[in-house]
Structure 1
Amino acid sequence: MKKLFFAFLLLTLFSCQKWNTHAYTFYYWRTNLSLNEAEKETLKNTTLPFLYTRFFDIEKVDGKFQPVAVITKDETFATDKEIVPVVFIKNEIFYDITLDEIDFLAKNVATLIMKKQQEFGFKTSAEIQIDCDWTNGTNKEYFAFLEKLKSYSQKQITCTLRLHQVKNRELSGIPPVTKVYLMCYSTSSPLENSDRNSILDLTLLKNYLSNIGTYPLAIDVALPIFSWGIVTNHLGKHKLINALTTKDLVNPNFKKITENKVEVLKDGFYFGNYLNKGFTIKVEEISNSQIEEVKKFLNGKISSYNIVYYHLDAKFINHYQF
């Protein structure tokens, strides 16, 4: 009887260990492609053969579609990973857009992606990922764009999936792609007056994803490994400073309010920004335990998934266990 019990225990432990192991890689979201030694080593140790790399954004400038913040590359950006192009498109693009404009946009996005791949000699992937916060007011147009992009690029098209698009799937619709990447971050706006962590609010995430197990497409998961500081002025207006941590708040010119919030005591330049006395800085960051809590929740909802961490940057990677 004891032997049977121990055999069952070992089997259970092995199953749990296997259940919680996920292949992973990163997003790369800087405009100038470069890798320092720490980033190269971290990327080398990933267990997926891809690096999801933002190529450019699409905006409308003077009534015309324009690629902005197009990537450049230096000699340090060398990797054996397949480079998966990611393009961010503002949702506003798809309001009042015609079928001809959708066709034009898809063709030009596919062409610019191909041009950049050839220019930089990337090890190309069979996938293109589109990042867009589409809504029920733009889903038909956005989905038509995805279909056109697939036709022009002859690639597998995937896209990001936000929490509200899961919860309100009947209105948001299901995109015509082979796979979605569930964004488990940016659960609220950092520019709201709120005590919540806007990068990741676990209670809100669990509420929005209560039925994620029934989503009708293959799912991989994007998890946050970044931080920022939210500066609030005397009028209650907010500004973001990327990559701030609570360690940055240790300064004789700051008065501690809470563990992650300070008040500026002296006018001056801080973190490249001029801040006045009386301004407050609130840091939002994500712990390893929060990441594990998200994984634990999703393990009970999704049978299997890979992880793409956002994002590969030496400022963040040393703080996390992968």
Structure 2
Amino acid sequence: MRYIRPFLFLILLSFISCGKKDNHLYTFYYWKTKLALDKTEKDALQKASDPVLYTRFFDVDKVDGKFQPVGVITKDKSFETDKQIAPTVFITNRTFLYIKKDDIPFLAEKVHQLIQKKTDEYHLKTNNEIQIDCDWTAGTRDDYFTFLKELKKISGKEITCTLRLHQVKDKAQTGIPPVAKVFLMCYSTSSPLENSDKNSILDVNILKSYLSKLEEYPIKKIEVALPIYSWGIVTNHLGKHRLINALSQKDLDNLNFRKISENEIEIQKDGFYFGNFLNKGFKIKIEEISDQQLQDVIHFLDKKIPQYNIIYYQLDSKFVSNQNFNLN
């Protein structure tokens, strides 16, 4: 009998260990053209448990039939961090529309060269990863996937890429990218420029419907990008919309605003608001993300993905100052 009790104890300990989820390591995307960090951002980054900062280096677009880098980074002396930098490049889908086969390795070479140039120029401590962000479609998938292979061959680095919700749901049409790891973008669930009562940054029910069969996705190494940003959607007299970034509900406290609901106001007096001239009668709707929404997404994904890290979009003092990142 004395051998049975330790045996039962080991089984119980194993059961408890298997049932306990590890906390998710987390870090940030840095998505500004000028690399600079204020104290709030440095503090948030220092506390991040993942050793990597995913840093946008530039965009790539096609202008008059030619590939063009857009918004190439500059660096301020305040940008100091012990984190490893993972160069991230956004490429428009139209860059791959009707692209010539010979232009694909040319584009991969130019992307690699510009990453190397900025890495050397600013003495950035990069890791062995390059991440490509592209909202590819069924019509561009083959050329985009060829580009990813060429970039891996030219750079000798691990190539990762972002994965949008529709690319999971419609994987038969959009295809599976030739990478070992993808970054699932759990935001932009609808367009902010549509007339809708849904939160366009993140509607958890829409996300769950798109990811209902995520466990069947063939790439098993999936990291998760979650939103912490906010904005205001301005609607004019004609029903046209535009965005003002980084607004929150506290910005709606103004004597010239009439509250319509908790997150929407109507302007009562023409004037400059948030750097924009807005007329009387214009409406502003705030969209931001609550801890509860993020927790709902994390709990849902915990059932779909065995283990993953979280990358919050984005590192900005406007978004990280009051954020709780221990949501596991």
Q: Fold conserved (TM > 0.5)?
A: yes
Q: Within 5 Å, give how 1:269-308 maps onto structure 2.
A: 269-308=272-311
User: Are 2:257 and 1:254 equivalent residues in the alignment?
Assistant: yes
Match of 1:28 in 2: 30
User: Are 2:126 and 1:124 equivalent residues in the alignment?
Assistant: yes
Partner secondary structure for residue 19 of structure 1: coil
Partner secondary structure for residue 257 of structure 1: strand
Could you list the per-position Cα deviations for residues 245-300 of structure 1 after superposition, in whole angstroms to 9, with x for gaps in the alignment? 00001111111001100011111110011111111000000011111110000001
* Cα separation, 2, equivalents of 1:117 and 1:40: 20
* Cα separation, 2, equivalents of 1:271 and 1:7: 61
Q: 1:112 to 1:275 in 2, by over 3 A?
A: same
* Cα separation, 1, equivalents of 2:263 and 2:163: 30
Q: 1:238 to 1:8 in 2, by over 3 A?
A: farther
User: Are 2:322 and 1:319 equivalent residues in the alignment?
Assistant: yes
* Cα separation, 2, equivalents of 1:10 and 1:284: 44
1:8 positional shift: 9.5
- The answer as to whether partners of 1:32 and 1:72 remain within 8 angstroms in 2 is yes
Match of 2:170 in 1: 168
* Cα separation, 2, equivalents of 1:233 and 1:284: 17
Q: 1:9 to 1:180 in 2, by over 3 A?
A: same
* Cα separation, 1, equivalents of 2:228 and 2:13: 33
1:238 positional shift: 0.7
1:319 positional shift: 2.5
| Structure 2 residues not aligned, in runs of 5+ | 1-7
Q: 1:198 to 1:10 in 2, by over 3 A?
A: farther
Q: Within 5 Å, give how 1:1-322 maps onto structure 2.
A: 18-19=20-21, 21-217=23-219, 218-322=221-325
1:42 positional shift: 1.1
1:15 positional shift: 5.5
* Cα separation, 1, equivalents of 2:29 and 2:122: 18
Q: 1:6 to 1:279 in 2, by over 3 A?
A: farther
- The answer as to whether partners of 1:254 and 1:264 remain within 8 angstroms in 2 is yes
* Cα separation, 2, equivalents of 1:136 and 1:207: 20
1:92 positional shift: 1.0
Count the aligned residue pairs: 318
* Cα separation, 2, equivalents of 1:11 and 1:46: 30
Identical aligned residues as a percent: 62
TM superposition score normalised by structure 1: 0.95
1:111 positional shift: 0.4
Following TM superposition, the consecutive aligned residue runs of length 4 or more in structure 1 with deviations greater than 4 angstroms are 5-16
